[in-house]
């Protein structure tokens, strides 16, 4: 027995290239040797060599010819697991790099299967198949026709380049031939990026008619690529889309754009260009680059690119750490709104911010220090409000430097009451040009000081739920003197549970909240052991005098503010409801909003409603009453329905509506969508948009398959 094992090892060793110094391992139920050169292994045979694993029922190794005669069923797996070969019989070289297999199947990345009458392995790199059927769809015994397949006279798979070459290819859907291609090259499933055409898509709109997009992906190197997408419609619209991507050692850059000639704007070349980049800088700073430009206001909506009404281009450097935030940025705006002009809006903005939190040592508590500079420029030189009637001088240019220091310290008082002393001081210096009302230089100082009392009550219920009730009273003193400064960054004021106890509820720096006041409120929160929670906040602001700082929709106007009532409800299964009402003593609503989100295994919903009265201080002469929703429902493991829309109750009409249907299984993704934009203006007309796309799973790494088909018994 010992001599037999030694002879087997000797034969296997001699069968391999000496330079490789690799040994094969063979395992089987029985081994026999005939003559001097033939070894026969039978029963559950497995061979391991150079990362390859071969399983068969019988293997005959002939040392004289250095070949393997294999009887199946045969399973040959590469070390990576990305390539699997199944066959009934095979005649291979001893290292399994070359040979012929009959009744074979090639499985790539556990997705794409290529079945052939005969398979030839060449040089350990190429696999050539004859009379081939290729598909990634599951086939059932009672229904042997796959959803899609490619039939070909000959197919060659290049393992090094990871490409599949089809000769005389025929594409079939449900067994019906729909397309014939003499020569076809496609990437195998393990290749993420390869030069070539991508799957086309169809788009139909009421303005442009039916059109087709045919993307071409071009690999420019290991770290860059370019996608060119011609888009041609039946109504004489020709577009070339592009997307360029580049990866650097410290970040990413992406450029997208398009050039168009159409009949919507005859005789003119239309287009857009977007640039997005993020980079890491030394000392843990980050750099953001963003560029946006378009030839005309309607282009982005006409071609379904983006639904935005202002373009935002910027360069920003920032760093945020536990107790520090530093940022510097330059921003350029381009408006697409009908009631705005680029020359009268702040088209170029530059600002720098330094914010630091720190401990005050012997004084105790926590302090903060913030320095900020801000400058904005309008291209108009008109010192009066002439073009847009927004009460702002058309050419107003402004520069500001601000410094703020704040401090707060908390104490634990008897009966569990938490007392806090707090305050802040702000100093601003303004320089204003090209404005007859505010021209010149001016300064402003403002301070807030006060005390805050919180008295949390906690109770544990018999069922394990925990209730927390916390009344809060905040008494603040601030100067009532008014300053003569323009207000451009604090026109939109929100009154919510997040700023009920804030020292200043204005979002920017141009306006400050003045006058003595008391912020009063109470919160109740319930935490259930089942994982859900509910919270309720009610509060109000009481002032010494009405200084006319706030508009009617904010809910903060008057000597006493409106009542704020906010509720939130969160379930462990992904349902979340938040609502907020600002109402007066007669229960009239100044502003209200609600949002419902659900992220379940089958259903996803995001819905919101907003209600606000008119407010000229917010440049909103009409009320806002709008409802939006976005929903997805998985009908079964493969089909998903999508529905979205927006309705304007003031105009009594929908503004946007859309629906879609998506099918995804192990071998195909099919997506069809229909949307309608109802609003119109001088540059934009109502449009209906229909889209259709089809992606095959198994070619390249771009599409991930879904649940596999279920076979009926």
pLDDT at 389: 66
- DSSP letters spanning 159-196: TTTTEEEEEEEEEEETTEEEEEEEEEEEE-TT-S--SE
- 209-213 and 224-233 as β-strands: parallel, antiparallel, unpaired? antiparallel
Please give the Cα distance from 334 to 294 (Å, whole number): 9
> What 3-state DSSP class applies to 95?
coil
SS3 label, residue 300: helix
679 or 433: whose pLDDT is higher?
A: 433
Rounded Cα gap, residues 495 and 555, in angstroms: 7
C-alpha dihedral over 109, 114, 119, 121, to 10 degrees? -20
Residues 6+ apart with CB under 8 A from 101: 74, 85, 87, 89, 90, 92, 118, 119, 120, 121
Q: What is the pLDDT of residue 653?
A: 86
pLDDT band of residue 468 (cuts 50, 70, 90) is very high
Residue ranges per structural domain of the chain: 1-75, 206-324
Confidence of residue 683 (pLDDT cuts 50, 70, 90): low
What was the pLDDT predicted at 15? Answer: 44
Answer whether residue 16 shows pLDDT above 50: no
Instruction: Report whether pLDDT(536) > 90.
Output: yes
Q: Do β-strands 238-248 and 324-335 pair in parallel, antiparallel, or remain unpaired?
A: unpaired
Structure tokens at 244: 């360029």
- Which of these, 277, 241, 234, lies nearest to 259 by C-alpha position? 241
Per-residue pLDDT band for 4 (boundaries 50, 70, 90) equals very low
Residue-level pLDDT at 371: 98
491: confidence class by pLDDT, cuts 50, 70, 90: confident
Q: Which of 136, 112, 199 is nearest to 694 (CA)?
A: 199
Whole-angstrom Cα distance, residue 468 to residue 456? 7
pLDDT at 225 over 90: yes
Would the pLDDT of 503 be above 60?
yes
Rounded mean pLDDT, 404-423 = 95
Query: What phi, psi does 146 have (nearest 5°)?
Result: -75, 160
Q: Kindly write down the DSSP assignment for every residue of 641-682, as one continuous string.
A: EEEEEEEETTTTEEEEEEEEEEEE-SSEEEEEEEEEE----S
> Across-strand partners of 593?
580, 610
Average pLDDT of span 212-224: 94
Helix (H) or strand (E) holding 270: strand 269-280
Mean pLDDT of 133-147: 85
pLDDT for res 3: 33
The 8-class DSSP code of residue 336 comes to: -
SS3 566: strand
Average pLDDT taken over every residue of the chain: 89
For residue 681, the model assigns a pLDDT of 65
Residue range 618-646, pLDDT digits in tens: 878 889 999 999 999 999 999 999 999 99
Contact 215, 197 (CB under 8 A): yes
Query: 3-state class of 309 per DSSP?
Result: coil
The whole-number pLDDT of residue 652 equals 87
Does residue 333 surpass a pLDDT of 70?
A: yes
Helix (H) or strand (E) holding 377: strand 366-377
pTM of the model: 0.84
Beta-bridge partner residues of 257: 242, 273
Question: In the prediction, which pLDDT does 583 show?
Answer: 95
Provide the token pair at 326.
Answer: 């530093």
Q: Are 111 and 705 in contact (CB under 8 A)?
A: yes
Helix H or strand E encompassing 446: strand 440-454
Residue 17 has pLDDT above 80, yes or no: no
Closest CA to 157 of 137, 194, 187, 199: 187
Q: Given this model, what pLDDT does residue 52 score?
A: 80
Question: Please, are residues 442 and 427 in contact by the beta-carbon 8 Å criterion?
Answer: no
> What pLDDT does residue 21 have?
39
DSSP category for residue 638: S
Three-state DSSP state, 686 = coil
Residue 350 to residue 330: CA distance in whole angstroms: 4
571 close to 531: Cβ distance less than 8 angstroms? yes
Question: What does residue 702 show for φ and ψ, rounded to 5 degrees?
Answer: -85, -25
Q: Is the pLDDT of residue 25 over 90?
A: no
Confidence (pLDDT) at 619: 79
Which range, of 16-20, 231-235, 291-295, 398-402, averages the lowest pLDDT?
A: 16-20
pLDDT-based confidence at residue 187 (cuts at 50, 70, 90): confident
Three-state SS sequence of 459-503? EECCCCCEEEEEEEEEEEEECCCCCCCCCCCCCCCCCCCCCCCCC
- Judged by DSSP in three states, 552 sits in helix
Mean pLDDT of 420-447: 93
301 within 8 A of 309, measured Cβ to Cβ: no
Assign 511 to helix, strand or coil.
coil
Query: Exposed, middle or buried: residue 155 (CB in 10 Å: 0-12, 13-18, 19+)?
Result: buried
Average pLDDT, integer, range 435-460:
93
Burial class (CB in 10 A: 0-12, 13-18, 19+), 1: exposed
pLDDT at 18 over 50: no
Nearest to 153 by CA among 178, 128, 136: 128
551-563 tens-digit pLDDT: 899 999 999 999 9
CB within 8 Å of 138: residues ≥ 6 apart:
146, 666, 667, 708, 709, 711
Environment class of 142 (CB within 10 Å of its CB; exposed 0-12, middle 13-18, buried 19+) = exposed
User: 323, 322, 374: which is closest to 353 by C-alpha?
Assistant: 374
**Where residue 662 falls among pLDDT bands split at 50, 70, 90?**
very high
pLDDT at 614 over 60: yes
Provide the b/e sequence for 659-674 (b: ≥16 CB within 10 Å). ebebbbbbbbbbbebe
Say if residues 145 and 174 touch (Cβ distance below 8 Å).
yes
Q: Is the pLDDT of residue 7 over 60?
A: no
| CB 456 within 8 Å of CB 468 | yes
* 580 backbone φψ class: left, alpha, beta (φ>0; ψ -120 to 50): beta
The predicted model gives 340-363 an average pLDDT of 91
Give which of 405, 423, 398 is closest to 489, Cα–Cα: 398
Radius of gyration, alpha carbons of the chain: 35
* pLDDT (mean) for 103-127: 88
**Confidence at residue 421, expressed as pLDDT on a 0 to 100 scale:** 96
- Position 145 scores a pLDDT of 86
- Is the CB of residue 253 less than 8 Å from the CB of residue 280? no
Q: Is 590 helix (H, G, I), strand (E, B) or coil?
A: strand
Instruction: Give the closest residue to 517 by CA, choosing from 536, 494, 486, 540.
Output: 540
Cross-strand pairs, 694? 670
Which one has a higher pLDDT value, 462 or 347?
Answer: 347
Decide if pLDDT at 450 tops 70: yes
Question: Model confidence over 233-280: pLDDT tens digits?
Answer: 999 999 999 999 999 999 999 999 999 999 999 989 999 999 999 999
pLDDT mean over 341-362 = 92
pLDDT surpasses 90 at 189:
no
Query: pLDDT higher for 572 or 271?
Result: 271
Q: Report yes or no: 555 and 591 within 8 Å, Cβ to Cβ.
A: yes
Confidence tier at 47 by pLDDT (50, 70, 90): confident
Confidence band, pLDDT 50/70/90 cuts, at residue 1: very low
Report the candidate in 126, 112, 61 with the shortest Cα–Cα distance to residue 84: 112
**In the structure, what pLDDT confidence band is assigned to residue 590 with cuts at 50, 70 and 90?**
very high
Task: Please state, in angstroms and rounded to a whole number, the distance separating the CA atoms of residues 561 and 585.
Answer: 10
């Amino acid at each position: 027995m010992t001599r037999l094992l030694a002879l087997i090892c000797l034969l296997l060793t001699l069968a391999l290239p000496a330079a490789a110094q690799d040994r094969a391992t063979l395992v089987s139920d029985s081994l026999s040797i005939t003559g001097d050169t033939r070894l026969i292994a039978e029963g559950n045979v497995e061979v391991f060599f150079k990362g390859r694993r071969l399983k068969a029922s019988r293997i005959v190794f002939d040392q004289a010819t250095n070949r393997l005669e294999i009887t199946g069923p045969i399973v040959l797996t590469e070390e990576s697991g990305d390539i699997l070969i199944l066959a009934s019989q095979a005649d291979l070289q001893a290292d399994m790099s070359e040979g012929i297999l009959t009744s074979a199947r090639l499985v790539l990345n556990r997705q794409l299967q290529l079945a052939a009458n005969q398979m030839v392995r060449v040089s350990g790199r190429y696999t050539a198949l004859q009379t081939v059927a290729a598909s990634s769809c599951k086939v059932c015994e009672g229904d042997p026709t796959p959803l899609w397949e490619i039939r070909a006279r000959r197919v060659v798979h290049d393992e090094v380049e990871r490409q599949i070459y089809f000769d005389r290819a025929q594409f079939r859907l449900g067994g019906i031939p729909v397309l014939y291609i003499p020569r076809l090259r496609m990437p195998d499933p393990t290749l993420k990026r390869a030069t070539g055409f991508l799957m086309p898509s169809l788009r139909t709109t009421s303005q442009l008619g039916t059109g087709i997009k045919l993307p071409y992906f071009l690999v420019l190197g290991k770290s860059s690529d370019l996608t060119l997408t011609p888009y041609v419609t039946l109504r004489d619209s020709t577009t070339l889309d592009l997307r360029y991507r580049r990866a650097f050692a410290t970040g990413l850059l992406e450029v997208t754009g398009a050039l168009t000639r159409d009949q919507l704007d005859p005789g003119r070349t239309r287009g857009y260009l977007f640039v997005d980049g993020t980079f890491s800088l030394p000392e843990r700073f980050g750099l953001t680059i963003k560029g946006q430009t378009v030839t005309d206001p309607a282009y982005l909506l006409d071609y379904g690119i983006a639904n935005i009404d202002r373009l935002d281009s910027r360069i920003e450097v920032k760093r945020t750490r536990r107790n520090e935030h530093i940022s510097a940025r330059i921003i350029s705006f381009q408006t697409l709104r009908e009631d705005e002009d680029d020359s009268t809006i702040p088209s170029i903005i530059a600002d720098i911010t330094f914010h630091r939190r720190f401990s005050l040592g012997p004084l105790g508590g926590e302090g903060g220090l913030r320095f900020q500079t801000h400058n904005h420029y309008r291209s108009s030189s008109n010192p009066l409000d002439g073009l847009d009637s927004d009460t702002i001088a058309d050419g107003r240019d402004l520069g500001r430097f601000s410094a703020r220091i704040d401090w707060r310290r908390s104490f634990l008082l008897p009966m569990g009451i938490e007392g806090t002393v707090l305050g802040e001081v702000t100093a601003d210096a303004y320089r204003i040009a090209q404005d007859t009302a505010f021209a010149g230089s001016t300064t402003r100082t403002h301070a807030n000081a006060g005390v805050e009392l919180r008295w949390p009550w906690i109770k544990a219920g018999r069922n394990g739920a925990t209730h927390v009730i916390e009344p809060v009273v905040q008494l603040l003193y601030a100067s009532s003197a008014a300053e003569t400064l323009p207000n451009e960054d604090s026109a939109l004021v929100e009154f919510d549970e997040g700023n009920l106890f804030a020292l200043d509820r204005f979002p920017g720096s141009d306006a400050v909240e003045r006058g003595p006041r008391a912020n009063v409120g109470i919160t109740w929160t319930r935490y259930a052991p089942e994982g859900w929670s509910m919270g309720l906040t009610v509060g109000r602001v009481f002032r010494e005098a009405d200084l006319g700082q706030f508009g009617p929709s904010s809910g903060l106007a008057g000597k006493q503010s409106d009542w704020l009532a906010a509720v939130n409800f969160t379930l462990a299964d992904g349902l979340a409801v938040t609502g907020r009402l600002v109402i007066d003593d007669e229960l009239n609503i100044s502003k209200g909003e609600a949002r419902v989100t659900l992220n379940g295994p089958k259903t996803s919903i995001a819905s919101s409603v907003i209600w606000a009265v008119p407010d000229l201080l917010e440049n909103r002469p009409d009320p806002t009453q709008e409802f939006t929703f976005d929903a997805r429902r998985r009908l079964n493991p493969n089909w998903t329905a999508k529905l979205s829309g927006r309705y304007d109750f003031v105009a009594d009409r929908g503004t946007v509506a859309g629906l879609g249907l998506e099918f995804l299984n192990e071998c195909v993704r099919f997506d069809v969508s229909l949307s309608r934009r109802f609003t119109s203006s001088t540059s934009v007309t109502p449009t209906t948009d229909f889209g259709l796309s089809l992606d095959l799973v198994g070619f390249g790494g771009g599409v991930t398959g879904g649940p596999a088909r279920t076979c009926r018994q």
